[in-house]
Structure 1
Amino acid sequence: MRYAVYFTPAHDHPLTMAAAEWLGRDAFSGADLPQAPVEGFDAASLADLTADPRRYGFHATLKAPFALKEGVTEDDLLSAFDEACATHSAFDIPSVTISRIGPFFALVPSEPSEMLDAFAASMVEAFEPLRAPLSEADIARRNPERMSEGQRQHLLKWGYPYVFEEFRFHMTLTGPVPEDQAPAMAEALHRHFQAFNGCPVSIDGLALFSEPERGAPFIVHSRQPLAAPTNG
């Protein structure tokens, strides 16, 4: 069993439902859904291009998937999760947009946010005491030889290379898209998510996802609201 601390909107939020329709899976129920037809892609191609994010469920990574270290129980994790939700206040990302990050597409903030980056860093640190060390096989799967020195150090220390100064909030919508298909994919994504492009997203809760066994689809174990925003 592995767990991950992610952000995803509530199960009945319009963005969650639009993403579930796009990916062909509802991470809250675990149910597979029919993917709506997308111009320029047959059903098999679309399913293949969205396979990676479909397995993980619609989310933004805060604490990447981890196993619990020896002596730590799920109850310990749930207690830490409750505390994180109670001690961090909700806030808004003022605007999000569809963007290509390397070979894949994601929904990302339109502008950098120090508040968002600090929140993500605090989640990395808060759950670190519960995380089992990565195995040699886990490290090798990440292809550390392709990383910068800073990313390799983060992988070894924190279990994930893209934390702190390497962090970039993103809600993944595709796997790698071939260069010749990228323009059509960008157009399809802008059509499907046009109601959200350029709009705010409220970071109003945390979601604990679980992976029952390696390679299995992740599912939402629980989602809790963050504390109410403070005034002033």
Structure 2
Amino acid sequence: MRYALYFTPPEHDPLSRAAAHWLGRDPFSGKTLPISPTDGFSYEELADLTADPQRYGFHATMKAPFSLAADCREGEFVDAVGRFCGKTSSFTIPSVVIGQLGHFFALVPEQPFTPLQAFAAEIVEAFEPYRAPLSDGDVARRKPETLSETQRANLVRWGYPYVMDEFRFHMTLTGPVKAERAAAMRDLLNGRFADFVGRPLGISGLALYVEKERGTPFTIHSWLPLSGA
């Protein structure tokens, strides 16, 4: 069993619904949903391009997947998440857009937003005592030889390379997209998510996701509102 702390909007939020239908799975219920082919993209191509983010469910990583420390029980961890959310204030990202990070597309802040960076760093640090150390296999899967010096240090210290100054908020919508398909995918996503692009995104809660066995889909164990949400 692995756990992760992710941001996602509440279950019935329009963005959650739109993303579930885009990815073909609802992480709240665990149910698969039909993916609709569209002009320029077949069902098979869309299914392939969304396969990886579909397994994780629509989210932005705050505390990457980890096993619980040997002396920690699930109930203790869940209670700690509840206490953290109860004392942490909700806030709003001023505007989000469709962005491309490397070869994949995601919903990202239009501009850097300091409160968001601070929120993510606080989560990483607050829940570090609950994380079991990475195994040698876990470290190898991160391909440390491809990481920067800072990212390797983060991997050793926090169990994940892309935290603290390396953190970039993104809600993944595709796997790798070939360069010759990137413009068409950007247009498609801007159309599919037109109701959310260029608009604020409220950070109103924190979701506890679980992976029951390695390689199986993540589902939402609980969604907890932040203070004032």
Common fold by TM > 0.5: yes
1:60-209 equivalences in 2 (<5 Å) = 60-209=60-209
Q: Distance in 2 between matches of 1:151 and 1:83?
A: 29
Partners of 1:38 and 1:209 lie apart in 2 by 30
Quote the Cα distance in structure 2 between the aligned partners of 1:91 and 1:50.
29
**What is the alpha-carbon distance in structure 2 between the residues aligned to residue 212 and residue 85 of structure 1?**
24
Aligned-pair CA distance for 1:157: 0.8
Q: TM-score, normalised by structure 2?
A: 0.99
Q: TM-score, normalised by structure 1?
A: 0.97
Name which of structure 1's ranges 50-59 and 31-40 shifts more when overlaid on structure 2: 31-40
Question: Root-mean-square deviation (CA), in Å?
Answer: 0.7
Deviations 1:83-107 (A, max 9, x none): 1101100000010000000010000
CA distance in 1 between partners of 2:38 and 2:22 (Å): 9
- Aligned residue number for residue 212 of structure 1: 212
Matches of 1:138 and 1:71, distance apart in 2: 20
- Unpaired segments of 5 or more residues in structure 1? none
Count, aligned residues: 229
Shift of 1:38: 2.2
List 4+ stretches of structure 1 deviating above 2 A. none
Counterpart of 1:17 in structure 2 is: 17
Alignment deviations for residues 128-185 of structure 1 (CA, whole Å, 9 cap, x no partner): 0000000010010011100000000101110100000000000000011111111111
CA distance in 2, matches of 1:109, 1:59: 14
Tell me how far apart the structure 1 counterparts of residues 4 and 177 of structure 2 sit (CA, whole Å).
25
Percent identical residues: 58
| Structure-1 residue corresponding to 2:31 | 31
Amino acid at match of 2:108: V
- 2:225 alignment counterpart: 225
Worse-superposed segment, 116-125 or 35-44: 35-44
Question: Secondary structure of the equivalent of 1:186?
Answer: helix
